[in-house]
Amino acid sequence: MLAIGEFSRLTHLSIRTLRRYHEGGLLEPELVDASSGYRYYSPDQIPAAQVIHRLRELDVPLVDVRRILGAADPEQRAALVAEHLVRLEAELARTRVAVSSLRRLLAPEPAPLQVELRAEPEVTVAAVEDEVGADDVGTWFAGAMAELDAALGPPTDAGPPGGLYDNSLFEHGHGRLLLYRPSPEPPQRGRVRPVRLPAVELAVTTHHGEHDGADVTYGQLGSWVVANALTVAGPVRERYLVGPRDTDDSAAWRTEIGWPVFRVASGTPR
Amino acid sequence: MLAIGEFSRLTHLSIRTLRRYHEGGLLEPELVDASSGYRYYSPDQIPAAQVIHRLRELDVPLVDVRRILGAADPEQRAALVAEHLVRLEAELARTRVAVSSLRRLLAPEPAPLQVELRAEPEVTVAAVEDEVGADDVGTWFAGAMAELDAALGPPTDAGPPGGLYDNSLFEHGHGRLLLYRPSPEPPQRGRVRPVRLPAVELAVTTHHGEHDGADVTYGQLGSWVVANALTVAGPVRERYLVGPRDTDDSAAWRTEIGWPVFRVASGTPR
DNA sequence: TCTGGACTCTCCCCCGGGGGGAGACACCAG
DNA sequence: CTGGTGTCTCCCCCCGGGGGAGAGTCCAGA
């Protein structure tokens, strides 16, 4: 039986942290003296404490740590851990993109932007639509795209897929997302259903590369729109001209970004 | 002039976050209406907002973001960013170690531990000693080792370097650290000074590999000590038999860990 | 010019995962 | 028995975000 201080020395977890783990049901002392409240640990609990330590070093949330420790058989546990390692991998990719994008931002001269005004006609498409949190966009997107592909089969010449992004997604961290593929006769299957996209005027530009870096292009497009005195309204549209479905070379990816505008009153623009 | 909502849509930073950045002096709106308190941004501020966004994605603390943005010339700014990228790299290395160590922890059978009881005589060494926070141990260690080497010259046959770690380092996150190199006539130079290390009884084992994984070995050693009914007292000792100064192959590194014990009363152990 | 809806303001509370410190009690060796 | 050290609980603070209330502002349409 070890008092909390000894156990702390053995595991290199601070006393405070051990207490917190107790409260959180993560690591229950083998014995808690009913009268004094003193926590007593067994040496057998050292490995568990160290697993927790490692998982926390990997930023695994305490709730997930609890699930991992509570997993019945070792295989299940390994699966849960593997899941987190996958997440870690994704995090890493995100970091890489952020770094390169940061370099681009800090580079002295930003490449000038090609912006085009385009009248987008009303069109009926096969679409999946949901209310999604900003953190879940990636996951949702992958699932929705898979479902669209399952419903429509391999890519046709009807055109590339696209998406509509509710503004509140950016302003409040969650909002409606709609992912579509053009289709002459959209089926109804699972979450996929026919949706009529309204006609809009768009200020359109093309983003090159990883989608995670698109916000920079958004900013450039946005300031173009502001500078060119057009008013903004409605969800942003994207169209995936070339994406991970087409090639693994992310430098070749092309995303069209369409910012809804009202055409300036006086005559035809351009 | 853009209201906060528009600016939020342009930068993909939430309204709340923009307000927070204003409060924190990170991103001052170009104009704040004195009577209404409304914040108005200029499109020219979009790039700055996006730099902040990227830095935050890289978990750069807001204070540091402020410093980076406040940096006078671009070179200084680039240097500050580079500094953070280095930190990111270190983080990455830490993650790698944690992952492999986690695998080892979850592996079914832990390798049995060779533990030896050893009477360490009093010895005078050249040492650097400081009160250090747990997060700064790595940095401190590198600096102290460099200073020792500067004072004593290249490695001699007087023996490998070692360290003493105050227990409160583990219990409370900060404590006294002492790094030494054996030396027949310890010099006094900079932070380096002669120190008399008291004699101790140690339970000793050897940790193989990255030092970041040593806590697992600590736990094993500790539970050996507990099981073998010896009492614990005083700072832990380490001795760096093979380390990064000797070879780049971290698998070959050897750290001796000595846990202070009182020899059991009844006769000589072993 | 008024009105209603959308926008924005400030303020307070919450989250997670830690830390600091006060004041009271428990343990244990001399 | 006594004093020092260990441990308890409790409250506050940190960071960088989010939720929501309640009040004030802006602006387009009638």
DSSP label at B251? G
Total domain count, chain A: 2
A242 lies in the same domain as A176? yes
For residue B243, the SS3 value is coil
User: Which of A55, A70, A85 is the endpoint of a domain?
Assistant: A70
A8: domain CATH number is 1.10.1660.10
A193 lies in the same domain as A258? yes
Q: What is the pLDDT of residues A104-127, one digit of tens each?
A: 777 766 677 888 888 889 999 999
B33 lies in the same domain as B129? no
B64 lies in the same domain as B158? no
B63 lies in the same domain as B122? no
- Split at pLDDT 50, 70, 90, the class of A269 is very low
**pLDDT at residue A265 is higher than 80:** no
Cβ of B172 near strand C (distance < 7 A): yes
**pLDDT at residue B268 is higher than 60:** no
Secondary structure E strands in B111-251: 116-120, 123-133, 162-165, 174-182, 193-197, 200-208, 231-232, 236-242
Mean pLDDT, chain B, whole residue set: 86
pLDDT at A32 (0 to 100):
94
Q: What is the pLDDT of residues B194-243, one digit of tens each?
A: 999 988 888 899 999 888 888 888 888 887 887 775 666 688 899 999 99
B27 lies in the same domain as B134? no
User: Which of B70, B105, B129 is the endpoint of a domain?
Assistant: B70
Once rounded to an integer, what is the mean pLDDT over residues B50-67?
90
Cβ of A38 near strand C (distance < 7 A): yes
**Geometric angle at alpha carbon B189, from B183 and B195, rounded to 5°:** 45
A120 lies in the same domain as A253? yes
**pLDDT at residue B56 is higher than 70:** yes
A41 lies in the same domain as A128? no
Once rounded to an integer, what is the mean pLDDT over residues B57-64?
90
Cβ of A5 near strand C (distance < 7 A): no
The whole-number Å distance from B175's CA to C18's C1' is: 18
pLDDT at B267 (0 to 100):
35
B44 lies in the same domain as B130? no
**pLDDT at residue B18 is higher than 50:** yes
Closest alpha carbon to C1' of D8, residue: A37
Is position B269 within any domain? no
In angstroms, rounded to a whole number, what is the distance separating the alpha carbons of residues B62 and A72?
A: 41
Among B43, B171, B222, whose Cβ lies nearest the Cβ of A227? B43
Percentage above 90 pLDDT, chain B: 39
Is position B50 within any domain? yes
B245 lies in the same domain as B123? yes
- Split at pLDDT 50, 70, 90, the class of B17 is very high
Percentage above 70 pLDDT, chain B: 94
Residue numbers of the domain that contains A33: 2-70
Interface test with B, best of A170, A212, A217, A257 (most B CBs within 10 A): A170
Is position B9 within any domain? yes
B229 lies in the same domain as B128? yes
Is position B86 within any domain? no
Cβ of A225 near strand D (distance < 7 A): no
Interface contact flag, A95 B58, Cβ < 8 Å: yes
User: Which nucleotide, over all strands, has the C1' atom closest to the CA of A38?
Assistant: D7
**pLDDT at residue A267 is higher than 60:** no
Is position A107 within any domain? no
Is position A243 within any domain? yes
A191 lies in the same domain as A58? no
In angstroms, rounded to a whole number, what is the distance separating the alpha carbons of residues B146 and A226?
A: 56
**pLDDT at residue A266 is higher than 80:** no
Residue pair A152/A181 in contact by the 8 Å Cβ criterion: yes
Percentage above 70 pLDDT, chain A: 94
Residue B121 CB partners (closer than 8 Å, separation 6+): B199
Chain A window 51-110: residues with CB closer than 7 Å to nucleic chain C are: 56, 61-63
Is position B96 within any domain? no
Q: Which residue of A has its CA nearest to B58?
A: A95
Is position B41 within any domain? yes
Sheet holding A2-3, edge to edge: A2-3, A39-41, A31-32
A186 vs B90: which has the higher pLDDT: A186
pLDDT at B229 (0 to 100):
54
Chain B window 48-87: residues with CB closer than 7 Å to nucleic chain D are: 56, 61-63
pLDDT at B269 (0 to 100):
35
**pLDDT at residue B112 is higher than 50:** yes
Q: What is the pLDDT of residues B125-160, one digit of tens each?
A: 999 998 888 888 888 898 899 999 999 988 888 899
Q: What is the pLDDT of residues A180-239, one digit of tens each?
A: 999 988 999 989 999 999 888 888 999 998 888 888 888 888 878 877 756 666 888 999
A186: domain CATH number is 3.20.80.10
